[in-house]
C-alpha cells in the first residue's frame, strides 16, 4: 500500500503540552495512591501511554492489553477482540486508550475490568469523538475532542502505517 499525504490536525507540540496537563491532573487526583496500575491499549495507545507515564509524578506499574475492532478497515467491525489477562484486583487502574469513537471497545474492556474488582477504574483517552458515540462511556481524562474523521499518527495507524508520525493527522 502506498502512503498518502497526511493533513496535520494536532501538532506534536500541542500533543505534548496536553499530555503533560493530563499527567499533572492524574497526579493530583491520585496523590497518595500506592497501587496505581496504568494499562495501555495496544497498539494505538503505546506512544500516548509512554508519554503520559513520564508525566505522572506518582509511582505506578505499567501493563498492556490488546483490543481491536477495526482490523484493516476505517470503520469498526462491531466485534471487539481483547487479549491480555491482568490481575487488577485492589489496584487503582488507569485505562489508557488512543481514541474513543463509538465507545464499544472501551466499554467492553471496562466491563471486563470491573469484574476483576479493581479499587478504582478511570478511563483516559488522547482523542475523543463524541459525535460518533453509540455506547455510554464515562471518560475521566480526555486530551482532545476531534471531528468525525479517520485519524493517524502518534501511534494510531491505518493498516499498520502512519504510527511513526509525531503529530495527529487525517487522511484526505
Q: What cell numbers appear for 151 in the block?
A: 485519524
Lowest average pLDDT, out of 3-12, 39-48, 89-98, 162-171, goes to 3-12
Band (77; pLDDT cuts 50, 70, 90) = low
Nearest to 138 by CA among 151, 152, 149, 124: 124
Contact 39, 86 (CB under 8 A): yes
pLDDT at position 94: 98
| Domain that residue 136 falls in | 7-166
Contact 93, 122 (CB under 8 A): yes
Has 128 been annotated as catalytic?
no
Number of H helices, E strands in the chain: 3, 9
Decide if 146 is inside a domain: yes
User: What pLDDT digit, counting tens, does each position of 82-121 carry?
Assistant: 777 789 999 999 999 999 999 999 999 999 999 999 999 9
User: What pLDDT digit, counting tens, does each position of 13-33 carry?
Assistant: 999 999 999 999 999 999 989
Decide if 1 is inside a domain: no
Chain-centroid distance of CA 10 in Å reads: 16
pLDDT at position 70: 54
pLDDT at position 11: 97
Q: Which of 51, 92, 98, 101 is catalytic?
A: 101
Residue 75: pLDDT over 60: no
Indicate the number of domains in the chain: 1
CATH number of the domain at 121, please. Answer: 3.40.50.2020
Residue 145: pLDDT over 60: yes
Amino acid at each position: 500500500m502506498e502512503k498518502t499525504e497526511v493533513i496535520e490536525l494536532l501538532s506534536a507540540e500541542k500533543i505534548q503540552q496536553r499530555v503533560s496537563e493530563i499527567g499533572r491532573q492524574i497526579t493530583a487526583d491520585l496523590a497518595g495512591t500506592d497501587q496505581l496500575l496504568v494499562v495501555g491499549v495496544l497498539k494505538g495507545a503505546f506512544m500516548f501511554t509512554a508519554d503520559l507515564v513520564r508525566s505522572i509524578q506518582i509511582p505506578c506499574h505499567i501493563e498492556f492489553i490488546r483490543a481491536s475492532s477495526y482490523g484493516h478497515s476505517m470503520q469498526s467491525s462491531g466485534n471487539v477482540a481483547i487479549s491480555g489477562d491482568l490481575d487488577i484486583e485492589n489496584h487503582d487502574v488507569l485505562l489508557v486508550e488512543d481514541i474513543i469513537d463509538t465507545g464499544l471497545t472501551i466499554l467492553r474492556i471496562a466491563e471486563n475490568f470491573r469484574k476483576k474488582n479493581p479499587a478504582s477504574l478511570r478511563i483516559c483517552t488522547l482523542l475523543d469523538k463524541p459525535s460518533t458515540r453509540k455506547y455510554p462511556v464515562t471518560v475521566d481524562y480526555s486530551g482532545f475532542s476531534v471531528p468525525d474523521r479517520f485519524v493517524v499518527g502518534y501511534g494510531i495507524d491505518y493498516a499498520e502505517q502512519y504510527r511513526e508520525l509525531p503529530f495527529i493527522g487525517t487522511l484526505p
